[in-house]
Amino acid sequence: MNLPPVVQHESELIQNAKLRSRLRTALVRWFAEHARDLPWRRDPTPYKVWVSEIMCQQTQIANVIPYFERFIKRYPDEASLAASDEDELMRLWEGLGYYRRARSLRTAAQKIVELHDARFPLTYDDVIALPGIGRYTAGAILSISQNQALPILEGNTIRVFSRWIAMQTPVDEKTSQNQLWQFSQSLLPTGKSALACRDRGPAAVNQAAMELGALICTPREPKCLVCPVAKFCDANTMGLQSIIPGKVTKTQYEARNEFAAVVRGPNGRLLVRQIPAGARFAGMWDFPKAGPPEAENAAQFTQWLEHQLGGTIELGAVVQTIKHAVTKYRITLHAHVAAWTRDATDLPDNYQFVTAAQLTKLPMSTTGRKLLDRL
């Protein structure tokens, strides 16, 4: 097979600081004009920027906004977050996904109260030591809130920077990542005046690079014709913007059938349980639910349920079929009504009969909430 030779392009942007300076000027000028009005940009305190950054991880900005508003209203500062009730916190996070983020946020707030007098720390080493905060998030918080000259690298900037320098190697490789981090650092201004000015310092440069990725330098069909820095972009010059960055390993999706039971108790209460620590959806409340390998079909689910609860289960009609995508899984959830004949008075561990009204205050898995809402 004949493949074109891979030629590592030497980007002038990497060599030439003056060129980067001109790019930066055009970039922040564009940002001043086109930045979206996001709630955490109005008063970018370290605390608010922190919360927004955690919420934004692997999540589209538009989905974050209402969550952010509610969160800040309920937990306006580090101390109130540290003292938060876990169920209430998870209820506020419900639907946003990656629930470990919320727990880490709370744990970190408690550390901040203990170690930093309830004020968000302002050095990189202190910040990255907090749970849930890695290199990107630490740099983002301190650059955006404090205008510190710390680099960032995430979904948007990986794409933007790799296009600017026409990176030919796969962006997920270690050497590529190192080069992109280095480029990100080299893009930041070092002059005293810029570091004293949010509008053209690291706060603006980092946010502008991400904003460009979100609004102009998009994954598919980047809007190069209206890009404010197109003339600095090697991929654009070379006509490579549609193939850089190359695609990463593609996801293998897996179809999966799961089963849930709606069991009614006294006064129409519903049988639910809080999922134990360590499992997926830990801490969230849900109807009795199982899938492979415990339950491949309705009969096995019935057996599993009898084993869980004791007594006998009579599985009835399907009340809902819910399609749900979770990471690589494509789940079809078959929700049945079920009659439970108990042989003991005690409910098994974690299980409880609760009213629908109580469930509105408890955190549930998304499928659990959907099922409840349509009962």
Partner DNA sequence: AATGCGGGGAC
Partner DNA sequence: GTCCCAGCATT
Give contact residues for DNA (rule: CB under 7 A).
38, 41, 52-53, 56-63, 95-100, 104, 131-138, 140, 154-156, 159, 172-174, 207, 210-211, 213-214, 219-220, 247-251, 253, 280-281, 324-328, 330, 365-367
Q: How far apart are CA 313 and CA 348, in angstroms?
A: 15
In angstroms, give the least distance from the CB of 188 to DNA: 17
Q: How far apart are CA 218 and CA 220, in angstroms?
A: 6
Cα 68–chain centre separation: 13
User: For DNA, which is the closer residue by CB, 214 or 337?
Assistant: 214
As to burial, measured by CB atoms within 10 angstroms (0-12 exposed, 13-18 middle, 19+ buried), residue 294 is middle
User: For DNA, which is the closer residue by CB, 309 or 359?
Assistant: 359
Q: How far apart are CA 230 and CA 237, in angstroms?
A: 8
Identify whether 53 is a catalytic site residue. yes
User: For DNA, which is the closer residue by CB, 35 or 315?
Assistant: 35
Contact predicate 333/260, CB 8 Å: yes
User: For DNA, which is the closer residue by CB, 10 or 173?
Assistant: 173
User: For DNA, which is the closer residue by CB, 2 or 251?
Assistant: 251
In angstroms, give the least distance from the CB of 274 to DNA: 14
In angstroms, give the least distance from the CB of 72 to DNA: 15
List the structure tokens of 80. 């109130």
Which residues, 6+ apart, have CB-to-CB distance to 200 below 8 Å? 24, 25, 28, 189, 194
**Pick from 273, 358, 282, 354: which is nearest to 93 by CA?**
282
Q: How far apart are CA 152 and CA 27, in angstroms?
A: 16
Contact predicate 198/189, CB 8 Å: no
Q: How far apart are CA 74 and CA 52, in angstroms?
A: 14
In angstroms, give the least distance from the CB of 296 to DNA: 19
Q: Look at residue 271 and give its three-state secondary structure.
A: strand
In angstroms, give the least distance from the CB of 252 to DNA: 8
Q: Which member of 12, 33, 53, 294 is catalytic?
A: 53
* Active site (catalytic) residues: 53
